[in-house]
């Protein structure tokens, strides 16, 4: 059975209750091309998109009709007589894109496209307004499911007739004899496999509790409806659909399914009510009561820099001051709803990275140290670089901080004083509105100026729409210091703020120009054994063909200027020079040396380590120039002929006494060595 047609909605006017749309079924041959299976329906429904495969209805008498015979439909848009008698009707097109609105394991509705059709001709109307003027585009409203499904095993379903009693005998009948009964039970039923819906963490918040409080703690005051913390209890869940109830449910799954997901934070913020504060022994106060708490008046300027050496300098809370050593510094923090004499000062960090408390004295005469607290102010009589750090002042439970830094008088003059004085002398420089960038503010020679920092590098070097930025802030110059103040002060007096960014890099990029390669592989540039080098000229040029530095073409890689080529004439060899003179002129053995170089055979150029696999010639050798020709070279002792000459000639004193014998012995040894080609003499003695 397949849906053959969808009837008109029984509701005819807008004011009527929703009506019903009857479904007409026809008998079709299973598996024919004219049927469309409606995905997600249970039991499975089919719709006919054409008359192909249509059979007489009695052919399907043994198959029960589907239980869904009608669906609800909304009333039409209007109930005018013209619309009721119109020949244009909406018809569902099952040959179109039929989809289920549900996502993974959910229950949804089947979406079937509707076409505006002329009932007289059966053709689709050109203009859908003809149907929309009568009623809205209808929806079929069939329930559908999207899940990862499978089909269970088949079970036998037969037609029986009971006799006498339900427990008695029964007889098997033909299927057609049970057609008057209710819908035939399914031969197969759907079952759910692994759901396709991804798992996720569902967070169940706990009780909202005050910040940093515990039951039984000492009483304290808090603002009503303050922000507290609640402990989260995450659990891994998954969305799925139930075929029997046709509903979507969220089920809890194993926490291992959410192992790859980021775990929710253990705590989250919440609003604490008055009753919860009372349970934790915390007194709830409103905003008006909180206004009576101590309040520090922070400085309008956040940065204070001393430019010249002066006797004293005052730093207010909320500032970061840079001070020249040797200056007397007063740390001043105005406070409301609190006595200044009861303020407490301490240094939180410094070079020693330790907390230091300062005691208060009534007058400067009672100060016995270099740093004293007088009338709520902390006074450093002579600032030193080791005094740099963060200072905190406390008024009961309320506190605030300021910081001190050090720089030398030379750094203050070069880095702070000179740039600002030069800018003050050139008031019209770098002005975006034509108004001066610096101007005197009051008769005490205080001045306001727009202070600009250096431009950053362009985001693109060239050839595109780049951007570079700089810092711009308003500064107030005093006689010996300057401070950073809000921009409103400069906007009133100096006008528009100088630009903090500008376009750059729009000029044409220089390019690499490579010349032609050498015509032949020259032996003048041997690279390795059997290889030489080809070269060409590579230059960085601009649009006017001017030669630039290679660094200006750094936005793109430089082309290759040297290339290896094959040259069999590039062969290395060891080349030796002449032997040097013998280190001993006569009368004894010496050594001579010569220079050995690794060169290319073709041009004699240095070849580096190309000869490492060749046999290295000798660079040193023994030499003997014969006995020295001296008059009166005689043996002075009769024992010279008795002892062995080798033993006598080893000692210089004996060699002098046995001059003749040692000379004859050395000549004999030299001739023996010369016959074996081990030495080379400069001359031969007879």
CATH number of 394's domain:
2.60.40.10
Least-confidence region, from 95-104, 212-221, 540-549: 212-221
Same domain membership, residue 656 and residue 586: no
Residue 477 pLDDT: 87
Report yes or no on 210 lying in a domain. Answer: no
Top pLDDT among 520 and 669 is at 520
- Helix count and strand count (H, E) for the chain: 10, 50
pLDDT at 670 over 90: no
**Phi and psi, residue 444, nearest 5°:** -85, 15
Average the pLDDT over 635-652 and give the result: 69
Least-confidence region, from 24-28, 290-294, 546-550, 665-669: 290-294
pLDDT, one tens digit per residue, over 70-88 is 777 766 555 544 444 567 7
**How far apart are the C-alpha atoms of 191 and 196, rounded to whole Å?**
14
Under the banding of pLDDT at 50, 70 and 90, the label for residue 164 is: low
The encoded tokens of residue 63 equal: 């198959």
Average the pLDDT over 225-252 and give the result: 73
β partners of residue 346: 357, 392
**Are 514 and 563 within 8 A, CB to CB?**
no
Same domain membership, residue 379 and residue 312: yes
Average the pLDDT over 618-646 and give the result: 73
Under the banding of pLDDT at 50, 70 and 90, the label for residue 639 is: confident
Average the pLDDT over 444-468 and give the result: 82
Residue 411 pLDDT: 92
Under the banding of pLDDT at 50, 70 and 90, the label for residue 148 is: very low
**How far apart are the C-alpha atoms of 72 and 84, rounded to whole Å?**
20
**Are 622 and 678 within 8 A, CB to CB?**
yes
Average the pLDDT over 390-418 and give the result: 90
Q: What is the DSSP string of 76-119?
A: PS---HHHHT-SEEEEE-TTS--EE---SSEEEEEE--EEEEET
pLDDT at 433 over 50: no
Average the pLDDT over 178-189 and give the result: 63
**How far apart are the C-alpha atoms of 397 and 220, rounded to whole Å?**
11
**Phi and psi, residue 9, nearest 5°:** -70, 135
CA 323 to chain centre: 39
Least-confidence region, from 6-20, 156-170, 560-574: 156-170
- Look up tokens 């960090």; give the residue: 349
Same domain membership, residue 559 and residue 647: no
Residue 214 pLDDT: 38
Average the pLDDT over 454-477 and give the result: 87
Long-range own/partner contacts, residues 25-29 (CB < 8 A, 24 or more apart): 25/1, 25/65, 25/66, 26/1, 26/2, 26/54, 26/57, 27/1, 27/54, 27/55, 27/56, 27/57, 27/58, 27/59, 27/60, 28/1, 28/2, 28/53, 28/54, 28/55, 29/53, 29/54, 29/55
Report yes or no on 671 lying in a domain. Answer: no
pLDDT at 383 over 70: yes
**Are 335 and 294 within 8 A, CB to CB?**
yes
pLDDT at 535 over 80: yes
Extended strands (E) in 382-429: 389-395, 398-406
Average the pLDDT over 330-354 and give the result: 79
Residue 616 host element (H or E): none
Least-confidence region, from 128-132, 389-393, 446-450, 493-497: 128-132
Under the banding of pLDDT at 50, 70 and 90, the label for residue 184 is: low
Same domain membership, residue 402 and residue 308: yes
Residue 365 pLDDT: 75
Q: What percent of the chain has pLDDT over 70?
A: 67
Under the banding of pLDDT at 50, 70 and 90, the label for residue 191 is: very low
Long-range own/partner contacts, residues 342-345 (CB < 8 A, 24 or more apart): 342/376, 342/395, 343/373, 343/376, 343/393, 343/394, 343/395, 344/393, 344/394, 344/395, 345/373, 345/378, 345/391, 345/392, 345/393, 345/394
pLDDT at 638 over 80: no
Under the banding of pLDDT at 50, 70 and 90, the label for residue 407 is: very high
Domain closes at, from 351, 376, 411 = 411
Report the range out of 49-58, 193-202, 348-357, 358-367 with the highest average pLDDT: 49-58
Report yes or no on 28 lying in a domain. Answer: no
Same domain membership, residue 639 and residue 552: no
Report yes or no on 660 lying in a domain. Answer: yes
pLDDT at 404 over 90: yes
575 contacts: CB under 8 Å, gap ≥ 6: 596, 597, 598, 599, 604
Q: What percent of the chain has pLDDT over 90?
A: 12
Residue 94 pLDDT: 64
Tell me the C-alpha to C-alpha distance, in Å, between residue 144 and each of 21, 242, 320, 325, 440: 18, 11, 68, 83, 79
Residue 249 pLDDT: 73
Same domain membership, residue 404 and residue 303: yes
Top pLDDT among 86 and 608 is at 608
- Domain hosting 587: range is 572-624
Report yes or no on 106 lying in a domain. Answer: no
**Phi and psi, residue 656, nearest 5°:** -70, -40
Same domain membership, residue 403 and residue 299: yes
* DSSP helix/strand/coil, 607: coil
**Are 662 and 648 within 8 A, CB to CB?**
yes
pTM of the model: 0.40
Residue 598 pLDDT: 93
pLDDT, one tens digit per residue, over 273-303 is 767 666 665 555 554 555 578 889 888 888 9
Same domain membership, residue 607 and residue 524: no
**How far apart are the C-alpha atoms of 469 and 46, rounded to whole Å?**
67
**Phi and psi, residue 483, nearest 5°:** -140, 150
The encoded tokens of residue 230 equal: 């609640």
Count: domains in the chain: 4
The encoded tokens of residue 539 equal: 């230059």
**Phi and psi, residue 416, nearest 5°:** -115, -50
Nearest by Cα to 537 from 562, 564, 554: 562
Q: What is the end-to-end Cα distance of the chain in Å, rounded?
A: 136
Report yes or no on 608 lying in a domain. Answer: yes
* DSSP helix/strand/coil, 638: helix
Same domain membership, residue 402 and residue 327: yes
Report yes or no on 349 lying in a domain. Answer: yes
CA 620 to chain centre: 65
Least-confidence region, from 256-270, 345-359, 570-584: 345-359
Same domain membership, residue 557 and residue 651: no
Domain closes at, from 520, 539, 566 = 566
pLDDT at 405 over 90: yes
Under the banding of pLDDT at 50, 70 and 90, the label for residue 326 is: very high
Same domain membership, residue 539 and residue 578: no
Domain closes at, from 411, 439, 472 = 411
> Mean pLDDT in the chain?
75
Report yes or no on 362 lying in a domain. Answer: yes
Average the pLDDT over 343-365 and give the result: 70
Same domain membership, residue 584 and residue 535: no
pLDDT at 108 over 50: yes
pLDDT, one tens digit per residue, over 550-606 is 888 888 889 998 888 888 888 999 999 999 988 877 767 788 999 999 998 888 889
């Amino acid at each position: 059975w397949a849906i053959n047609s969808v009837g008109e909605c029984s509701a005819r006017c807008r004011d009527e209750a929703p009506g019903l749309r009857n479904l007409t079924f026809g008998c079709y041959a299973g598996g024919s091309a004219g049927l469309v299976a409606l995905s997600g329906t249970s039991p499975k429904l089919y719709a006919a998109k054409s008359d192909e495969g249509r059979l007489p209805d009695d052919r399907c008498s043994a198959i029960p009709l589907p239980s869904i015979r009608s669906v609800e439909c909304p009333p039409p848009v209007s109930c005018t007589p013209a619309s009721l008698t119109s020949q244009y009707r909406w018809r569902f097109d099952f040959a179109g894109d039929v989809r289920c609105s549900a996502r993974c394991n959910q229950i949804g509705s089947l979406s079937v496209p509707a076409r505006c059709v002329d009932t007289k001709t059966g053709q689709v109307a050109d203009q859908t307004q003809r149907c929309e003027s009568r009623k809205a585009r209808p929806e079929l409203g069939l329930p559908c499911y999207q899940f990862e499904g499978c089909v269970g095993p088949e079970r036998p379903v037969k037609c029986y007739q009971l006799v006498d009693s339900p427990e008695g005998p029964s007889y098997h009948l033909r299927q057609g004899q049970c057609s008057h009964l209710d819908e035939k039970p399914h031969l197969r039923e759907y079952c759910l496999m692994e759901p396709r819906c991804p798992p996720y963490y569902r967070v169940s918040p706990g009780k909202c509790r005050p910040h940093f409080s515990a039951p039984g703690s000492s009483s304290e005051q808090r603002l009503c409806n303050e922000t507290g913390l609640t402990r989260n209890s995450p659990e891994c869940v998954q969305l799925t659909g139930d075929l029997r109830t046709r509903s979507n449910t969220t089920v809890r799954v194993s926490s291992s399914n959410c192992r790859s997901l980021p775990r929710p934070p253990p705590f989250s913020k919440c609003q604490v009510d008055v009753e919860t504060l009372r349970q934790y022994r915390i007194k709830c106060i409103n905003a008006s009561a909180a206004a009576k708490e101590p309040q520090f008046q922070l400085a309008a300027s956040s940065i204070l820099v001393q430019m010249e050496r002066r006797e004293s300098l005052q730093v207010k809370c909320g500032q970061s001051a840079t001070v020249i050593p040797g200056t007397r510094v007063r740390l001043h923090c105005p406070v409301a709803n609190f006595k200044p004499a009861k303020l407490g000062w301490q240094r939180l960090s410094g070079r020693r990275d330790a907390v230091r408390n300062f005691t208060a004295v009534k007058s400067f005469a009672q100060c016995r140290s270099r740093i004293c607290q007088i009338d709520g102010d902390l006074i450093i009589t002579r600032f030193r670089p080791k005094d740099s750090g963060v200072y905190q002042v406390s008024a009961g439970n309320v506190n605030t901080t300021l910081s001190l830094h050090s720089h030398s008088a030379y750094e203050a003059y070069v880095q702070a004083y000179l740039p600002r004085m030069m800018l003050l002398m050139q008031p019209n420089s770098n002005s975006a509105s034509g108004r001066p960038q610096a101007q005197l503010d009051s008769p005490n020679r205080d001045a306001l100026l727009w202070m600009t920092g250096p431009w950053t590098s362009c985001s693109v070097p060239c050839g595109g729409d780049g951007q570079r930025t700089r810092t711009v802030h308003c500064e107030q110059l005093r006689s010996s210091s300057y401070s950073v103040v809000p921009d409103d002060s400069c906007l009133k007096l100096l006008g528009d703020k100088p630009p903090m960014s500008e376009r750059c890099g729009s000029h044409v990029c220089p390019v690499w120009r490579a010349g032609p390669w050498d015509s032949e592989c020259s032996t003048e540039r041997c690279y390795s054994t059997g290889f030489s080098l080809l070269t060409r000229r590579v230059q960085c040029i601009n649009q006017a063909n001017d030669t630039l530095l290679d660094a200006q073409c750094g936005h793109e890689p430089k082309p290759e200027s040297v290339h290896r080529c094959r040259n069999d004439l590039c062969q290395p060899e060891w080349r030796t020079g002449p032997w040097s003179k013998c280190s001993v002129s006569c009368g004894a053995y010496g050594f001579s040396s010569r220079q050995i170089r690794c060169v290319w055979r073709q041009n004699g150029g240095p070849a580096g380590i190309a000869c490492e696999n060749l046999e290295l010639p000798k660079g040193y050798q023994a030499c003997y120039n014969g006995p020295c020709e001296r008059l009166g070279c005689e043996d002075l002792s009769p024992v010279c002929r008795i002892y062995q000459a080798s033993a006598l000639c080893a000692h210089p004193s004996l060699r002098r006494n046995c001059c003749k014998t040692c000379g004859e012995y050395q000549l004999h040894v030299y001739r023996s060595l010369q016959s074996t080609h081990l030495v080379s003499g400069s001359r031969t003695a007879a």
